[in-house]
Amino acid sequence: MKTGALVPVEKISEIMGDALSRAGQAGINKVIVDGFPRELSQAKWLVDAQAQHSRAIDLVVVLEVPRSELQKRLEVRGRLDDTPEVIDERLRIYRSEMYPILSYFTEQGINIVHVDGTGTVGQVHDRIVEELVACHLA
């Protein structure tokens, strides 16, 4: 965490596979995933695993938040590893990995919406719900 590094890809895919299987066994029809996939290989795994887990990727929501806002939020959080250098490294990793993922999802015909992630939790929630309703998912 101190360096801004992420959990290994293989471990995350294993955890996600287990979670999707458990959700299916519990009869849960819709799943919301936050922070996954983080790498192109995970995105490909997720697309390829749709049939295995009896799931479709109905929508990808991308929250857009300026760096200055992220810095403010992290300062309030107060973790020791939230230094400007670590934050910049996390953002660099995010951008270098997220753009290819979004391109891949687009190539696969998966619907992507970009939502303003600034404001209160309630405001962001309402914007996401508006998109879900517009896509007939809520």
- Average confidence (pLDDT) over 100-126: 96
Domains and CATH numbers, the chain: 9-134 (3.40.50.300)
For CA atoms 75, 77, 79, 85, give the dihedral sign.
negative
Q: Is 116 helix (H, G, I), strand (E, B) or coil?
A: strand
φ, ψ of residue 112 to 5 degrees: the values are -125, 130
Sign for the pseudo-dihedral over CA of 94, 104, 138, 15: negative
pLDDT tens by residue, 55-84: 889 999 999 999 899 888 888 887 888 888
CA nearest neighbour of 63 among 131, 136, 134, 135: 131
pLDDT at 116 over 80: yes
Is-contact 131 115, C-beta < 8 A? Answer: yes
**Contact (CB, 8 A) for 110 and 57:** yes
